[in-house]
Amino acid sequence: MASLAEIRARIAAQENKAGSKGSNTQSDNSIYPHWNIDEGTVATVRFLPDGNDKNTFFWVERQIIKLPFNGVKGDPNIKKIDVQVPCVEMYNDGSTCPVLAEVRPWYKDESLKELANKYWKKRSYLFQGFVRQNPLGDDKEPANPIRRFVISSQIFNIIKSSLMDPEMEELPTDYINGVDFNIKKTSKGGYADYSTSNWSRKVSPLTEAEQAAIEAHGLFNLTDFLPKKPGEAELRIIKEMFEASVDGQPFDNERWGAYYRPYGLEAPAGATAEKQTAAPTVAAPAKAPVAESAPWEDEPAQASQPIEVPKQQSSDKAQDILAMIRARQNKS
């Protein structure tokens, strides 16, 4: 595990670099659903290091793209669905994301920015640790009490900025000198808001029971919980689905469902288990009226209210974009 100084150096290097440029997660109770806590409550967690000692940080970043479709082909009862696919840029190996390769130039055209935002990658961050204060009365602790956390950009930015604070002298995941993190849920503009979340200022060593759990179960290698990296076939399917989505077509389960499909939709007959990669989700909370997030997604809480694009303008632009994409394909 890297030291606090090494983490700070890496964060600073990443931010400088950005400035100069201008696996399968299942819905089980090993993932702690902090988004389900009631408004006005606090979940206190104690983050742990990544089991991968080559990871400088105690988290990994996940990047997902949401493809909206006008229903499902052949099923008039399904009106609107989303299919979530991995963005290959998250693997940091130089791979080109076919969706972002098309979307990036759209930001140069003011009239396309809203459409570009719809297809831009959503970031979330995977952590692990113990839940020390749990306001979820119906949450059942798994046999392994080391839980995984899917953290939104809003909460992550609080975590990261605090790490750069010179007053934080010890790594917060240190077994002896580490500190708790308080996830505080409020609401703002009808959306869940976590902006008051914070690190505790009081050192809180791991208990004997917590250390025994680490000894018994070990730490997760967080990279194992990233979506499986798409191969050439999957990348072709992602590009094809993206074009169909922009074109306003319904989702074709027979054509694409063996690779990616919306949660809850059965795979087409004859699909192999290896290719069945329906994105998992978490049921929306029954109590809270705020917008919530599935584990694959970045929580919508930190975003402003969705902007409605005029239908005629969106449709016209979509046709123009599809024409450009297909013209480029014909040349190649």
- Which tens digit of pLDDT belongs to each residue from 5-61? 776 677 777 666 555 444 344 446 899 999 999 999 999 999 999 999 999 999 999
Return the pLDDT at 200.
95
Tokens of 305: 């209210």
Euclidean distance between CA atoms 149 and 109, whole angstroms: 37
The CA distances from residue 178 to 4, 129, 212, 291, in Å, are 11, 12, 17, 32
CA 14 centroid distance within chain: 19
Digit-coded pLDDT (tens) for 64-73: 999 999 999 9
Return the pLDDT at 208.
97
Return the pLDDT at 1.
66
Euclidean distance between CA atoms 99 and 235, whole angstroms: 9
Nearest to 182 by CA among 172, 196, 170: 196
**Domains of the chain by range and CATH?**
4-97+120-228+284-314 (3.90.198)
Is residue 294 packed enough to be buried (19+ CB in 10 Å), middle (13-18) or exposed (0-12)? Answer: buried
**Helix ranges restricted to H, the chain:** 4-21, 98-103, 113-119, 153-163, 208-217, 232-246, 253-256, 311-331
pTM exceeding 0.85: no
C-alpha dihedral (96, 101, 107, 112), degrees to nearest 10: -140
